[in-house]
């Protein structure tokens, strides 16, 4: 069974590119421009990893990341933050994200980061 990834990205071109790259690499991907409730969306999609754009309409991805990392059922879920403004992340903190990727991103770096997050999650589960 393929691993499930949820992407929340408001730029359709980037969202479609991410979906295509990750699906080609064997992942089951759901892509959204917006979500009313990140926790409900994760539960509905049965996501195992979340990729969040930092700048989203109405809320920033950092706040969504913090919510994921604070909720009991998703506290250990890997979260990757994306931003075209890395200085924003540096100045505001990473909100507990497991990884950060600057836009524009290198495809190989993105895929390596996703695989590393899944590998680290499995390692953490196996050793707890």
Please give the Cα distance from 105 to 23 (Å, whole number).
Answer: 17
| Residue with token string 């309409």 | 57
Nearest 10 degrees: CA dihedral of 36, 38, 94, 104? -80
What structural domains does the chain harbor? Answer: 4-126 (3.40.50.2300)
Q: What is the pLDDT along the chain (128 residues), one digit of tens a residue?
A: 689 999 999 999 999 999 999 999 999 999 999 999 999 999 999 999 999 999 898 888 989 999 999 999 999 999 999 988 776 656 566 688 999 898 999 999 999 999 999 988 654 443 33
Residue with tokens 């109405």: 58
pLDDT value of residue 71: 95
Which tokens is 21 given?
């790259």
User: What are the CA-CA distances from residue 111 to residues 18, 19, 37, 84, 106 (Å)?
Assistant: 10, 12, 26, 18, 9
Sign, CA torsion 108/114/119/120: positive
């Amino acid at each position: 069974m393929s691993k499930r990834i949820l992407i929340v990205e408001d730029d359709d071109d980037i969202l479609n590119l991410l979906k295509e790259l990750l699906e080609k690499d064997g992942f089951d991907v759901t892509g959204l421009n917006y979500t009313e409730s990140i926790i409900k969306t994760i539960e509905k999609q049965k996501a195992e990893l979340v990729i969040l754009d930092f700048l989203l309409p109405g809320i920033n991805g950092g706040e969504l990341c913090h919510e994921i990392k604070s909720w009991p059922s998703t506290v250990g879920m890997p979260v990757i933050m994306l931003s075209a403004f890395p200085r924003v992340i540096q100045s505001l903190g990473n909100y507990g994200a497991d990884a950060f990727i600057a836009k524009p991103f290198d495809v190989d770096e993105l895929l390596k980061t996703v695989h590393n997050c899944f590998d680290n999650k499995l390692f953490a589960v196996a050793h707890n």
